[in-house]
Chains A and B, each alone.
Chain A
Amino acid sequence: MTDITKSPSAQDVKRQMRRQMLADFWFYFSENRGAVIGLWVFMALVLLAVFAPIFAPHGATEQYRDAFLVPPVWEEGGQWEFLLGTDAVGRDMLSRLIYGARFSLFIGVVVVGIAATTGVCIGLIAGYYRGAVDTIIMRIMDVILAFPSLLLALVMVAILGPGLLNAMIAIAIVLQPHFVRLTRASVLNERGKDYVTSARVAGASPFYLMTRTILPNCLGPVTVQATLSFSNAILDAAALGFLGMGAQPPTPEWGTMLAEAREFILRAWWVVTFPGLAILITVLAINLVGDGLRDALDPKMKRS
């Protein structure tokens, strides 16, 4: 009976805990069938975007002078060379859509990256220091939130000048207050708890307290918000592109493609239908994942 198993080191315990948390998370997440489907679709889109040159049968801006507005292959007059048809200047729709996935996902990643990191930092500061700092920050956020988001983004792009980069900056600024509010609320909730007090008594610096002690416990809602913002960013960027303020032609951005296609709406349905469908599928997949994440990360939902 002296054969005691080696007591696990702290490192091992930590690793095991993390693994257990992941397993728990996956258990709740995978219960939601829609979320799993959304995740698969999303991963497929990422693959398409990354390997666009391999999947796309033609170049994104390559023009075929003898193939203007060719209908999709199943319609009368369709050609096998252009599965989803061509647009008004003879570019292959399918290839442009595949390359477009790159832009939309890139926009989502960059916008959420900027909005979430700045938003979380500002929210941490506001929630941790309280007082005047908090008041000033939150009043500024209120002002941003007072404007309809798309309108504010539109006006900002009008100031900065149309273009994809400026559109992304504008959308990030518009989405950021949500992260600030959310982080601040969870920090306010956490900072009075015993583990924070004990860490402070043990001599942790404010920076350590904010980033190492409190932040990890606020990440659940922030993750959900990030997913929602991801789909919002894609939608808003497409809307700006559609209004001529986002990515500029001939960029194969889906919203911009729609704007170019508008005049052919009654003559060639495919140039209008497919880019929008691509936006819808992408956004839907991300929102499905977002719903699953919310269910898996929200302790209130687990009990029910």
Chain B
Amino acid sequence: MLGFILKRIALLLPTLLGITIVSFGFVRVLPGDPVLLMAGERGIKPERYQKLMEQFGYDRPIWEQYLDYLNQLLHGNLGNSLVTKQPVVTEFFTLFPATVELSICALLIAVSIGIPAGIIAASKRGSFWDQSLMGTALVGYSMPIFWWGLLLIIVFSGWLQWTPVSGRISLLYYFPDVTGFMLIDSLLSGQKGAFTSALSHLVLPSIVLATIPLAVIARQTRSAMLEVLGEDYVRTARAKGLSPTRVVGVHALRNAMIPVITVIGLSVGTLLAGAILTETIFSWPGIGKWMVDSISRRDYPVVQSGLLMIAIVVMVVNLLVDMTYGFINPRIRHD
């Protein structure tokens, strides 16, 4: 197992290097001079220009700059935001829990509805249930989630006034950051109504973010189940006289879960991409909104390093999924 893990990590190294090249190249391929670009339209004095060129090392050969960049990365130095002057790493880790909280809730919704929906559809293949579930799943899969979020705001925040429009918690509550997860922190604070407030802020964004993964998981579960239900061992289990629930729930499900887990793992990328849109719509203070805001503010160090860190997060999660996969299915370890 250790060998398998090490092999997977070794396979990731070239990709990791490639990602650093992309994020390094990002500022260099910008048309124009990076220092002039950062100075913006106000312009810059020649002396200061020269000083900045030297400070950032733009006057040296490109490969030397890249090695320097790698060296900085290895020391955990990813530059400072041009707007807030804060280190990008600090900002990233302040905002990251908000995105993680949102993504976990979305994933929980997607898994807890998607898998049962897929199982029901597969076990009643061709029925009304199958068709309506899979029809709904296809609608979800085709959903422009930024519009879906706006619709939910119109209905639940506008017409029904059930949920707030934006943010993570009502401004009435203030408590220290313990875990960074608003749901847990609000409970820990012991303030009355804080948890409900946090929850009501979280509901709509989670539903929006869950939509596409939910549809993908339901479709994948159905097709994996259908494949497994045709296997001999399922027929044997049936012939033995086991109840349909047991056949589907135990014998078939365990084997059908392998492709489903892959899809769940892959949806982490989808979640982070979806977080860009969801967080923008709901003004959710996570890394998705941070990236969009930084792009519109031309805060290039943030864009550059944010891109790098998000890619690394996706890679690490995919690696973890690969490992789980190896645990569940021993055949994969040995190929």
A interface list, Cβ under 8 A from B: 34, 139-140, 142-143, 146-152, 154-155, 158-159, 231, 235, 238-239, 242-245, 255, 258, 262, 265-266, 269, 272-273, 275-277, 279-280, 283-284, 286-288, 291, 304
B interface list, Cβ under 8 A from A: 14-15, 18-19, 21-22, 26, 29-30, 135, 138-139, 141-144, 146-148, 150-151, 153-154, 157-158, 226, 230, 269-270, 272-274, 276-277, 280, 291-292, 295-296, 303, 307, 310-311, 314-315
CB pair B295 A265 closer than 8 Å: no
CB nearest to A259 among chain B residues = B146
CB pair B295 A158 closer than 8 Å: yes
CB pair A279 B147 closer than 8 Å: yes
Q: Give the distance to chain B from A107, nearest Cβ to Cβ, in Å.
A: 13
| 12 pairs, A vs B, C-beta closer than 8 Å | A142-B18, A143-B15, A148-B276, A151-B291, A151-B307, A155-B307, A159-B30, A235-B144, A265-B150, A265-B158, A266-B157, A287-B138
Q: Give the distance to chain B from A38, nearest Cβ to Cβ, in Å.
A: 9
Which residues of A are found within 8 Å of B315, using beta-carbon distances?
A: 146
Which residues of B are found within 8 Å of A239, using beta-carbon distances?
A: 144, 146, 277
CB pair B276 A154 closer than 8 Å: yes
CB pair B154 A269 closer than 8 Å: yes
Interface majority SS (helix, strand, loop, mixed), chain A? helix
Q: Give which listed residue, B139, B154, B272, B292, contacts A265 with CB less than 8 A.
A: B154
Q: Give the distance to chain B from A139, nearest Cβ to Cβ, in Å.
A: 5
A143 to B154: give the CA distance in the assembly, Å.
39
Which residues of A are found within 8 Å of B273, using beta-carbon distances?
A: 148-151
Q: Give the distance to chain B from A221, nearest Cβ to Cβ, in Å.
A: 16
CB pair A155 B303 closer than 8 Å: yes
Q: Give the distance to chain B from A150, nearest Cβ to Cβ, in Å.
A: 4
Q: Give which listed residue, B147, B151, B303, B310, contacts A147 with CB less than 8 A.
A: B310
With contact pairs A276-B148, A280-B143 given, residues A148 and B153 touching in the complex (Cβ less than 8 Å): no
A146 to B18: give the CA distance in the assembly, Å.
10
Q: 8 tightest A-B contacts by CB? A: A276-B147, A143-B18, A148-B273, A150-B273, A283-B142, A284-B142, A279-B144, A158-B295
A304 to B126: give the CA distance in the assembly, Å.
13
A245 to B280: give the CA distance in the assembly, Å.
14
